[in-house]
Structure 1
Amino acid sequence: MVTIKDVAKQAGVSVATVSRILNNLPGYSEETKQRVEQVIESIGYQPNAVARGLINRETKTIGVLVPDVSHLFANEVLAGIEERAHELGYTVMICKTNYRTRDYLQTLYEKRVDGIIMVSGTITPDEYKQIEMMKVPVVLVATQTNYPIRFLKVDDYQASYDAAAYLIKKGHSRIGMIAGTKEDAVATIPRVKGFTDALNDAGIKVTNEKITHGDYHFKSGIECMDQLLNNDPSITGVFCASDEMAAGALSFLYKQGIRVPEKLSLIGFDNTPTAEKAIPPLTTVAQPLYEMGRSSVQLLLDPSVTVNQIFPHQIVERDTVRSL
């Protein structure tokens, strides 16, 4: 393995001089700089990012915490993060937290990352204390908190309101919702409120039987669709709080011989690749997930920007909603 000592020896300078050149510090001539750079190129020396970070306090590494990397929602955000980070010369360290956020925060602190992006999820008081102790920039994507941490997301309340209003505009009045986990104050509560407010504003009574709760994943979509139809077989439209739950609902309806959209209309949320690949292709509320991922990197690396960012949503019409 080529080391900084090998570079110094071949260039005829001290290790300290090579280090200063690598970190753009003063104390050498232009001739010396060119000679050292030529040696580095010729012998293929690659500086260790962490070692350089000890000097200039930058490792050019961004840590990303995400609850579930298998979730297509997260994959779209991660794609945007990785692309923008690469353009700016940063590498990305992705950690699937799976309820071990504090452990991974400590790991990223030990790796001396330059900043952390947290995708979805919530922050506990203990986790926030740990973030404060780390003294590194943190940005949230598709979530927010009462703590002073910058975030990027869509307006979940308005997006859900618009989804329900879309079904109403298409002539549906017997509408159900497959919502996310009940304890999720960031997404579930505002989306349920947006849904119920839209129905109430249209003079449609909302009962508890019309709202079921899943966990944003495929299997829970199957279970919740079954529950909704057991509660009220007359439902003609369903709003699902994620595309994956909508895909689960579609699977259940297919197995029951209930045609979509002829017998029942569905609208999802996120506009992940699942929505486009579903059969029939899923009408959904689109979040600009990739763009949010890219923007989160820019926001993270510019601490002077303190304004939170609300991204626009839109309804992407495909083939799962029909007019009555």
Structure 2
Amino acid sequence: MKPTIKDVAKLANVSISTVSRVMNSPDSVVESKKVRVLDAIDKLKYKPNALARGLIYKKTNTIGVIIPDIRNPYYADIIRGMEDASKKLGYSLIICNTDRDKKRLFSYLNNFYEKQIDGILYTSDPVFPDYYHELQRLRMPIVLVSTHSMEYDLPSVKINDEQAAYDAVKFLIDSGHRKIGMIAFELTDGIAGWTRYHGFVRALREHDLEECKDNVVFVEGWTYETPDAAASTLLSKCPDLSAVFTVSDELAIGLLCYLNEQGIKVPEQISVIGFDNIRLAKLTVPKLTTVAQPTYEIGYRSVEKLNAIIEQQEDPVLREYLPHEVIERASTRRLNR
């Protein structure tokens, strides 16, 4: 049987609270007692139970991470940033994949509550009213990652999606393109759907290209057939396009594959620009021009922001936006005017 804190206290002839203080605040214990406790720990080979310690000190040094689709390569650098920041600040991560299933989400939230985790990092998805009420009921600190909420005062870290989409389309326009299309998420997606479509339309309007605003195919959900179907529909609808903006690199990579299969050369016949700058964007043929999100920094900063809430430190920025940039590679070309 594993030794317990009671066994250590008995062998050292001190109280259980003294053993706890030696492990967590040794400077608060007189030297003679501290030596006895440390000797007892060494003799018994005692390893403190993290959950029990959390019950005493109301902190488990654990953060729960909610991810909607762990297979999506977009989350790789976000999680790496979270991990590095957590290690620096003394936290461990529990990563849960919801598949955007409400029952799974609520189950994970209740598991987090039972395990008395210190806070939650909620990634990518909108916060619906019933989600918010559940979070309020559980009373756990939360930071939204790569998403935000305008309805509720929840701290968040992300980029400005509307401006990023605008910059992507303006890049195409500045490159001489006048026949531009878009593969977009449904407008009901308030995080990356409506915002990125609005950026697309704003760029067209400001550059007198409003006739292109209907050159859009909307996709909902993801399968490996999604990019093919979207690309086929878009090119049937608008066969004279010279450039296509897609709202994710996964969609852009699928579009590149479709165009290759159709014998359509990129960028000679159609330029393609993606969104996210996942690692695969550097490995496509041709290499993908894209809007780079600072995913590692988003993950890292979200942990710092959550830690400030846990430690009751002041953080003056509720909805925090990190900078993005357009990375030009070989999948786009500049046209002669």
TM-score normalised by the shorter chain: which range applies?
A: over 0.9
Range with bigger deviation, 43-52 or 164-173: 43-52
Matched, 1:233 2:239: yes
The partner residue of 2:114 within 105, 110, 116 is: 110
- Normalising by structure 1, report the TM-score: 0.94
Structure 1 residue 86: Cα displacement: 1.3
* Alignment check: 8 A CA contact 2:181 2:212 kept: no
Q: How many residues align?
A: 324
What residue number does 2:55 align with? Answer: 54
- Alignment match, 1:137: 141
Deviation at 1:124, TM superposition (A): 1.4
Separation of aligned partners in 1, 2:45 and 2:307: 29
Provide, for residues 66-101 of structure 1, a one-character-per-residue CA deviation record: whole Å limited to 9, x for no partner.
101111112221111111101211100011112232
Trace 1:82-121 onto structure 2 (pairs within 5 A).
Answer: 82-98=83-99, 99-100=101-102, 101-121=105-125
Asked whether the equivalents of residues 243 and 268 of structure 1 are also in contact (C-alpha less than 8 Å), the reply is: yes
* 1:199-278 to 2 correspondences below 5 Å: 199-207=204-212, 209-215=214-220, 217=222, 219-278=225-284
Q: CA deviation at 1:150?
A: 0.3
Match of 2:195 in 1: 190
Contact kept? 2:217, 2:233, Cα under 8 Å? yes
Q: CA deviation at 1:36?
A: 2.3
CA distance 1:43–1:268, change in 2 (3 Å): farther
Identity of aligned residues (%): 40
Greater displacement, 248-257 / 31-40: 31-40
Shift of 1:127: 1.2
Check the 8 A contact 2:267/2:330 in 1, yes or no. yes
Q: Secondary structure at the match of 2:321?
A: strand
Paired amino acid for 1:51: A
Contact 1:170 1:323 in 2 (8 A): yes
TM-score normalised over the length of structure 2: 0.91
Question: How far did 1:181 drift?
Answer: 2.7
After TM superposition, the structure 1 stretch with the greater mean CA deviation from structure 2, 159-168 or 305-314, is 305-314
Residue of structure 2 aligned with 1:162, choices 159, 167, 170: 167
The question of whether the paired residues in 2 share the 8 Å contact of 1:216 and 1:244 is answered with no
Please tell me the residue identity of whatever aligns with 1:55: I
| Structure 1 residues 250-308: Cα deviation after superposition (integer angstroms, max 9, x where no partner) | 11111111111111101110111121122211110001000110000000010221412
What residue ranges of structure 2 are gaps of 5+ in the alignment?
A: none
Unmatched runs of 5 consecutive residues or more in structure 1: none
Say whether the 8 Å CA contact 1:120–1:140 is kept in structure 2.
yes
Could you tell me which residue of structure 2 aligns to residue 305 of structure 1? 315
1:34–1:238 Cα change, 3 Å: farther
Aligned equivalents of 2:43, 2:266: Cα separation in 1: 64
Corresponding residue for residue 77 of structure 1: 78
Deviation at 1:44, TM superposition (A): 4.1
Q: Report the 3-state secondary structure (helix = DSSP H, G, I; strand = E; otherwise coil) of the residue aligned with 1:72.
A: coil
